[in-house]
Structures are given as C-alpha cells and as structure tokens.
C-alpha cells in the first residue's frame, strides 16, 4: 500500500455478522476445523466475553450441531474483533489509505446490484459491461435460497438477506451482537430488541453505514 510504484486499492466486502454466523453454523461440517483454529488464535491476555447462556454449548439440541455450533459462534468473536480494527483504520485512514479503500456491504450488492456494481467499478476507474450487469442482476433474482453450503447460484435477494433471521435462535443472535456490536454499528447493521422484531421480516435492519 505504501509502494509509490503501485496504484493499489482495497475493496472490502462485508456482511451482517449474524448472517455470517448462520452460514458458518450451516456449514458446520466443512468449517468446524477452521472455526476451532480461529477460536484457538484468540489472544489469551484479552478478557474473553462470556456466552450469554451458560448452557449454550449444548443448547439442548445435540442433533442441530451442539459443539460445532458453539465453536462457530465463538469464532465470530475473533472475526469481529479483527474486523473492528480494520474498520477503525478505514474510518480514520492514514495518508496511504485515503482514497484507496472501499467497504462494500453484501446486502447493498444484493438489493441494488447494478448501482453497487457501478460504484465498485467506478472506484477502480473501470466501466461495467452490460454483460456483467446482466449477470449481477440474474444472480440476485433467482427463484429461491439454497440451504447447501459452498454453492454459488442465482438466489432470491429477499430470502438471502433474511435467512439468518429464521435460522438462528434469539439467543444465538444476541450472542453474535455482543461479539460484533462495534463493526455492526460502523457498517449500519441494527441490533434487534426482541424475538418478535427478529421475525418481523417487513422491518429492515439496515441503515446508512458510517464508512
């Protein structure tokens, strides 16, 4: 980034941490080793945030994943801590980062694919081809939402954005919010106040990001 011979720009794709947690839990078998590695990478000198529910490790649903769900959520503490540091740097950028960093929310790309795509391409001084715009629009206008992990396919934008609200328990959601409240605030992801608020899919939990 500091090399004057390079014109390097960073595009940081972000997503609602609650959706990330839901995806990690859904992909438990493919990511459990990675989640364990992330959890073990935590700085032992930093005070660990306790789980809100002391019995959450099992959660009474062994068939739903048990320990693997526990590690998937635990990994979010490390992931969001790292993200918070990155976003703070972007919020108060040093000289070498100014004008060279762009955060892109997954949700904006899904809801307004053409507008967001043009912003991304404009950031790197490129023009979007009609073929790329058509591809982006088709990928966010599919018939449904696949529950299979690691599958890239066209999907329904509304279902893709709200899937975590029906997949996670209220306790899991509040745990992720405790871990990730700093990056969520910077990126414009609103926290929920009740189980009823989670299930009310007519209410968007997005607001304008601070970045």
Per-residue pLDDT of the chain (211 residues; tens, 9 = 90+): 888 888 899 999 999 999 999 988 877 655 656 665 666 666 666 655 555 554 544 344 444 444 557 778 888 988 999 999 999 999 999 999 999 999 999 999 988 999 999 999 999 999 999 999 999 888 888 766 665 666 666 777 778 888 999 999 999 999 999 999 999 999 999 999 999 999 999 999 999 999 8
Q: Could you tell me if 168 and 76 are in contact, meaning their C-beta atoms sit under 8 angstroms apart?
A: no
Q: Could you tell me if 49 and 177 are in contact, meaning their C-beta atoms sit under 8 angstroms apart?
A: no
Q: What is the pLDDT of residue 60?
A: 41
Q: What is the pLDDT of residue 61?
A: 45
Q: Is 99 left (phi over 0), alpha (psi -120 to 50) or beta?
A: left
Q: What is the pLDDT of residue 141?
A: 80
User: DSSP class of residue 196?
Assistant: H
pTM over 0.75: yes
The structure tokens listed for 47 are 């005070």
CA-CA distance, 43 to 39, in Å (whole number)? 9
Q: Could you tell me if 66 and 59 are in contact, meaning their C-beta atoms sit under 8 angstroms apart?
A: yes
CA-CA distance, 149 to 106, in Å (whole number)? 17
Please enumerate in sequence order all residues whose Cβ is within 8 A of that of 200, keeping only pairs 6 or more positions apart, or say none: none
Please enumerate in sequence order all residues whose Cβ is within 8 A of that of 113, keeping only pairs 6 or more positions apart, or say none: 133, 136, 137, 139, 140
């Amino acid at each position: 980034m500091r090399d004057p011979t390079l014109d390097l720009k960073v595009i940081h794709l972000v997503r609602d941490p609650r959706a990330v947690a839901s995806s990690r839990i859904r992909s438990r078998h493919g990511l459990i080793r990675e989640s364990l590695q992330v959890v073990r990478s935590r700085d032992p000198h930093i005070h660990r945030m306790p789980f809100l529910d002391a019995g959450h490790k099992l959660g009474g649903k062994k068939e739903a994943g048990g320990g693997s769900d526990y590690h998937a959520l635990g990994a979010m503490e490390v992931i969001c801590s790292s993200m918070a540091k990155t976003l703070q740097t972007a919020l108060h950028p040093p000289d070498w980062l100014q004008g060279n960093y762009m955060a892109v929310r997954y949700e904006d790309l899904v809801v307004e694919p053409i507008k967001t795509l043009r912003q991304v391409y404009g950031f790197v001084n490129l023009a979007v081809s009609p073929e790329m715009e058509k591809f982006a629009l088709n990928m966010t206008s599919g018939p449904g939402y696949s529950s299979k992990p690691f599958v890239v396919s066209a999907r329904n934008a509304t279902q893709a954005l709200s899937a975590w609200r029906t997949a996670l328990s209220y306790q899991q959601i509040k745990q992720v919010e405790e871990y990730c409240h700093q990056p969520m605030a910077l990126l414009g992801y609103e926290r929920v106040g009740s189980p009823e608020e989670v299930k009310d899919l007519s209410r968007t939990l997005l607001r304008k990001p601070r970045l």
